[in-house]
Amino acid sequence: MNNVIAVFESTHAAIEGERACLAAGIKCQAIPLPREISAGCGIALEIPDSEAAAAEALLHKTGIAASIRRR
């Protein structure tokens, strides 16, 4: 399974982002920010590739400060 990583500006944003994704039925797993990514807070979300677009749209719509990165 290919995954994308959602990187957040703050821990609060990460918690909100996880909540929003789960509420919308988007599968996500909280992971520590991969070492190769230096920006953002320490918690990131791993999201299946197939749901990346939905997650990105959702995070954008809810105004949660996040960026989606491909591994």
Partner 1 sequence: MKTVDARGMLCPKPLILTKKALNGLAPGGHLTVLIDNETSKGNVERFCRDNGVDVSAAQDGAVFTLTLTKRRGEAITVDEKAYCGPDGPRKPHVIAFRGDTMGSGPEELGAILMKAFVNTIKETQPLPSHLVFYNTGVRLVVEGSPLIEPLAELEKKGIKILACGTCLDYFGLKAKLAVGTVSNMYSILETLSNAGSVIAP
Residue 43 binding partner 1, by CB under 8 A? yes
Residue 24 binding partner 1, by CB under 8 A? no
Residue 25 binding partner 1, by CB under 8 A? no
**Per-residue 3-state assignment (H helix, E strand, C coil) for the chain:** CCEEEEEECCHHHHHHHHHHHHHCCCCCEEEECCCCCCCCCCEEEEEEHHHHHHHHHHHHHCCCCEEEEEC
Residue 46 binding partner 1, by CB under 8 A? yes
User: Contact positions toward partner 1, by CB under 8 A?
Assistant: 11, 14-15, 18, 22, 29-32, 42-43, 46
